[in-house]
Structure 1
Amino acid sequence: MDTEALRSFVRAAELRQLQHAAEELGVTQQAVSKRIATLERELEVRLFTRTARGVELTLDGQAFLPHARGVVAGADRAVTAVRPGSRALRVDVLGLRTAQAVVLHDYWRSHPGTDLDVVTLRVDDPLVAAAAVRSGDVDASFRAVPDRSALPADVRMIPAFDSPLELLTGPAHPLAAARSVTPSQLRGLRLWVPGIVARSEWSVFYDELATAFDLSVDATGPNFGNEVLLDTLADSPDVATLVGSRDRYLWPTTHDLRRIPITGPALVYPLSLLIPATKPHPGLRAVIDHLKALAPAPEPAWRPSWAG
């Protein structure tokens, strides 16, 4: 059923004048008349009777009106749900327990009533995320393209916030009792980070990190998720991993895992935001301002080559 015909019927019923309905809808009176006539033929009933003052609903028209209103309202909501500028601000994060999601949740709590849609694109290549920003599928993406020359001309990459890394260990690990550790203390340790994918930004990050500090970052084995990783750490006397200081991890109290800050220098993952170069979503400015107000990472700090 033609929604524009339903819209013409609803406005004519409410205004009781085909000409007034046509003026409001930006079409001719003849167009409104044709739409309503087509609708009546489809329904096989008369919806209006003509009067000296305009039109009046028939009994069938009165019965049909609330349902037609519902269809028109639903169509309008559907369009609003996907139209940039009128729909919710749609932001891509790597996962709902990542620092990105935590920071967005803090923003939403401090800005009650904000219409925010947090999604997770199931992609590892940041250029695919950049394409989603370019096409308007998302309004922003917490991704970085380390090779800026590969970034599409109509997509910008701006700094979002720094995420200092922490060492996460089980209670039997040699560094479990440390209040902080330095990068040099991590040399020779097995730092297990499953899920490092070729061409991903974190692949570049860990390659540069391992080279800069002579570390052994182990990405072997399938990634069975955080729960399996945490179970492994809890039982292991020699395996540790690296996590962001704002990343949210939950584990049973019996695991007794330890999050240990890394200092001298801090190891910082610089989170970036991919946004359209022109006509960004109106709600994006407030989010960017919130990110700028976050506490900076401790100094001195090491960052990968694409930071800044």
Structure 2
Amino acid sequence: MDVEALRTFVAVAEAGQFQPAADKLRISQQAASKRIAGLETDLGVALLVRTSRGSRLSLDGQVFLPYAKKVLVAVEQAERAVRPGRRPLRVDVLNRRIAPAQVVYRLYLSRPDTALDAVTLGLENAAQAARAVLEGSIDASFRALPADQLPPGIRAERLLNVPLQLLIGPGHPLAGRKWVRPMDLAGHRIWIPGIRPGTEWERFYQSLAEAFGLSIDALGPHFGDEALMDALADSSSLATLVGSGDRYMWPETYDLRRIPLRDPTPVYSHLLLTRADDQHPVLTELRDHLRASRHRTTDSLWSPDWLAA
């Protein structure tokens, strides 16, 4: 059905004459008559009754008019939703507890009028996230994308480096330290359950373990963050690694310790993946926010050399 014909029909119905309706639409009276005639042909009914004093709605026209108006409202809403700056920027944050979700949330808090939509699509790995960005189902994603998986048309920017921290219970031998070196963790059991094969974080932890001689245990099912906190609180030997911007909660009685890693500081780089030609204005706001809140340190940083950016 021709939307312009619908718009013309509504204009004529409201004006009661063709010429004022045509003037409003900035078309000729002849063009307006052709549109209405085509619409009536498509529907197989007469919508208007022509008289010497103008036009009035037929019975079919009276029935059709409210539906035509609803269609035009829906079309206007659809057009408005995708106009530049109107459609929310759709960002895949992977997990609502970790740093990407927190940084997007802080951007929203600082600028409540910003059109943002943070989603967790459950994509299995960085390559899938990059494809989703290319296909347009999301505008951006935060992923540690390997360089060998960077597809043409994707822009990868290293704007969110998250320092790793050791998370341990009060009985752990390192619990009293203000900070530790990554190599000091050699010989300690670092348990990170739920690492899925073929993911970028599996590759990251493999690189981390090789670089500093660590033993990272991914065995066993992951029963959730709460179960992991329970295990840490009850153990004098168990440790895990978390990002400094990750948000985890546990009872105060657990007395868990978050201890920074330094000399060097290992960072997990959540690359901002976008389409190279995406001009959404909120992307500029997001980039500026990431740069302004970037982690600053005098310590040397470590990250794997296979990252795309």
**TM-score (structure 2 length as normaliser):** 0.85
Q: CA deviation at 1:265?
A: 1.6
Aligned-residue CA RMSD (Å): 2.9
Kept after mapping to 2: 8 A contact 1:12/1:21: no
Match of residue 229 from structure 2: 230
1:106 and 2:106 correspond? yes
Q: CA deviation at 1:49?
A: 3.3
Supply the distance in 2 between the matched residues of 1:292 and 1:71 (Cα, whole angstroms). 44
Q: CA deviation at 1:294?
A: 1.6
Kept after mapping to 2: 8 A contact 1:102/1:246: yes
The CA deviation string for residues 103-129 of structure 1, in whole angstroms up to 9 with x for no partner, is 011111222211111111211221111
The CA deviation string for residues 189-243 of structure 1, in whole angstroms up to 9 with x for no partner, is 1111122222221112111100111011111112222122222212222111101
The CA deviation string for residues 258-298 of structure 1, in whole angstroms up to 9 with x for no partner, is 21111122111111011111233232112111111123342
Distance 1:49 1:166, change over 3 A: same
Kept after mapping to 2: 8 A contact 1:5/1:36: no
- Higher mean displacement: 178-187 or 65-74: 65-74
The CA deviation string for residues 73-120 of structure 1, in whole angstroms up to 9 with x for no partner, is 234434655677642111111111110011011111222211111111
Counterpart of 1:217, as a letter, is I
Kept after mapping to 1: 8 A contact 2:159/2:294: no
Corresponding residue SS for 1:284:
helix
Corresponding residue SS for 2:143:
coil
Match of residue 138 from structure 1: 138
Kept after mapping to 2: 8 A contact 1:84/1:136: no
Supply the distance in 1 between the matched residues of 2:78 and 2:220 (Cα, whole angstroms). 43
Counterpart of 1:292, as a letter, is R
What pairs up with 1:260-275 in 2 under 5 angstroms? Answer: 260-275=259-274
Supply the distance in 1 between the matched residues of 2:271 and 2:79 (Cα, whole angstroms). 30
Distance 1:116 1:96, change over 3 A: same
Supply the distance in 2 between the matched residues of 1:184 and 1:111 (Cα, whole angstroms). 41
Q: CA deviation at 1:161?
A: 1.4
What pairs up with 1:2-21 in 2 under 5 angstroms? Answer: 6-14=6-14, 16-17=17-18, 19-20=22-23
Counterpart of 1:304, as a letter, is P
Corresponding residue SS for 1:142:
strand
Distance 1:231 1:14, change over 3 A: farther
Kept after mapping to 2: 8 A contact 1:182/1:263: yes
Q: Unaligned stretches of 5+ in structure 2?
A: none
The CA deviation string for residues 48-70 of structure 1, in whole angstroms up to 9 with x for no partner, is 33345653446775675455433
Supply the distance in 2 between the matched residues of 1:36 and 1:249 (Cα, whole angstroms). 63
Supply the distance in 1 between the matched residues of 2:238 and 2:246 (Cα, whole angstroms). 19
What pairs up with 1:186-265 in 2 under 5 angstroms? Answer: 186-265=185-264
1:122 and 2:118 correspond? no
Match of residue 306 from structure 2: 306
Corresponding residue SS for 1:273:
strand
1:162 and 2:166 correspond? no
Match of residue 49 from structure 2: 49
Kept after mapping to 2: 8 A contact 1:268/1:297: no
Q: CA deviation at 1:19?
A: 3.9
Corresponding residue SS for 1:118:
strand
Q: CA deviation at 1:244?
A: 0.5
Kept after mapping to 2: 8 A contact 1:22/1:28: no
Sequence identity percentage? 47
Q: CA deviation at 1:176?
A: 2.1
**TM-score (structure 1 length as normaliser):** 0.85
